[in-house]
Amino acid sequence: MTLIVTPRERRHQILFFFYFGVAALSLASRSPDLKHNLNVNNGTFGVLVSLGAVGAVLAFMFVGQLAHRLGVGPVLIGTGIFLYGPVAVIPHIHSLWIYILMNIVLGVGFNGYNIAIHDQALKRQLLSGEKAIPRLHGAWSVGTLLTTILSISITSHVSLAWHIDVLMAILFVATMVSIFRMRPFLIKGSEEPSEDDTIRIRDTWSMLTTDRYIAIAYVCAVMVEFSTNDWVTLSSHQEIKASTTLSIVPYLIFMIGMVIGRLGIHRLLAIQPETYWIRISSRIGGAGFIIFLLLAKYFAGHNFGLAFSFEIIGFFIGGLGGSFFAGVLTQIASQRSHFPGGVVVAQMGLALAVLTLFVKLLISWVVQITSITYGLMIPGVLMIALSFFTKLGPKKVNA
């Protein structure tokens, strides 16, 4: 019997991703303020931001199992506290060591919440037959878009601390309300797991050992998005010499590209399969990202308008080109694995946390030695490299 997803369930499932998007990237658009609070150079700031991966590893090792055992509801409440709390605290921090600790805690909350909402979505998707993940990722992108617009609107008028504190309080209350109203639909814990459902800590490493192909593909797919979140406003502010408020605009345009791609991908999938669009989008998105950012750097010294326009175009192409990769690859990974949805997300997330930590540290090192633009060439090249992954799709099962 096919599950019918009610309007209430669909609405609050979308809201989980939307709230997550608003909270998760509320600090990204104000990275110049964070860097100023910490009084560090670009390389050190990049390393500090990357250390959130330590918290990610902790989350991915345990949260998928907790969601499977206890159910999604309790895990959403706990990880919601670890998500919204640290985000609210970080704008008040001036000590490097306290920032590192809080960033690790935020890594736990961010990735734990991500596992929980994906576990819920993947299992309900399996029962209903709907391909909901790309649309839910679109809701996440709408949240990031709105939080960026909010930052542009209030950066010149409201301090970073007031902006983030009030926003996190509102989001926390809204998330708890959605959890309460979603209670009849939230996946319950497994009281009597079968042998096949038994989840061990070592299983979370299997994405690195038994399906490294999809893990490496995922890294290539998301590094433009991850790097843009870390560096876009600093790039505009320092290299194009845009004002603090204006430097958020390229990030806004990047997120518009992400929203357009994620909300429209289902139409393209009706024409050609996922692998076709991954191949085309990775080449166009990666090449456009690289070419226009290099043009922006070239004109930065003598034509601000042209340089700023090229930067906006580059980030828009990168956002549009890579918009649907994460959602599609999550679905493919779930199809390739016999584990429950939340554990699959944990496996992919753990592999991603480990691998992207090294890539982010490499980018930070290149940024410090050369420039932010040259550091961003690395994720652009990785996006192009994704087009050469020709074996994406469910594994063949031997008869």
For the stretch 75-96, pLDDT in tens is 999 999 999 999 999 999 999 9
The mean-pLDDT minimum among 102-106, 168-172, 199-203 falls in 199-203
- Phi and psi dihedrals of 155, rounded to 5? -55, -40
Domain boundaries, the chain: 9-181+210-388
Give the per-residue pLDDT at 377.
96
pLDDT, greater one: 331 or 59: 59
Confidence of residue 392 (pLDDT cuts 50, 70, 90): low
With 90 as the cut, is the pLDDT of residue 69 above it? Answer: no
User: CATH second-level architecture of 9-181+210-388?
Assistant: Up-down Bundle (1.20)
Cβ atoms of 60 and 350 closer than 8 Å? yes
Over 60: is that where the pLDDT of 277 sits? yes
Q: Specify burial of residue 7 (Cβ count, 10 A radius: 0-12, 13-18, 19+).
A: exposed
Task: At 213, list the tokens.
Answer: 């192909």
pLDDT more than 70, % of the chain: 85
What is the residue-averaged pLDDT of the chain? Answer: 83
pLDDT of residue 253: 93
**DSSP letters along 82-113, please?**
HHHHHHHHGGG---HHHHHHHHHHHHHHHHHH
Q: How many Å separate Cα 382 from the centre of its chain?
A: 16
List C-alpha distances in Å: 363 to 223, 356, 375.
Answer: 10, 10, 5
| Number of helical H runs and strand E runs in the chain | 16, 0
Closest CA to 233 of 179, 152, 163, 175: 152
* pLDDT on residue 66: 81
* pLDDT over 50 at 156, yes or no: yes
Query: Which range among 116-120, 266-270, 357-361 has the greatest average pLDDT?
Result: 357-361
In sequence order, the β-bridge partners of residue 188 are 71
Cα-trace Rg, the chain: 20
State the distance between the two ends of the chain, measured CA to CA, in whole angstroms.
Answer: 26
Per-residue pLDDT band for 127 (boundaries 50, 70, 90) equals low
* Residue 259's pLDDT band (cuts 50, 70, 90): confident
Indicate the range of 161-170, 206-215, 216-225, 323-332 predicted with least confidence.
Answer: 206-215
User: What does the pLDDT read at residue 202?
Assistant: 55
Residue 140 CA: distances (Å) to CA of 19, 22, 151, 292, 343: 7, 8, 17, 26, 21
For residues 236-265, give the mean pLDDT.
Answer: 87
CA distance 29 to 245: 9
Select the more confidently predicted residue: 149 or 332. 149
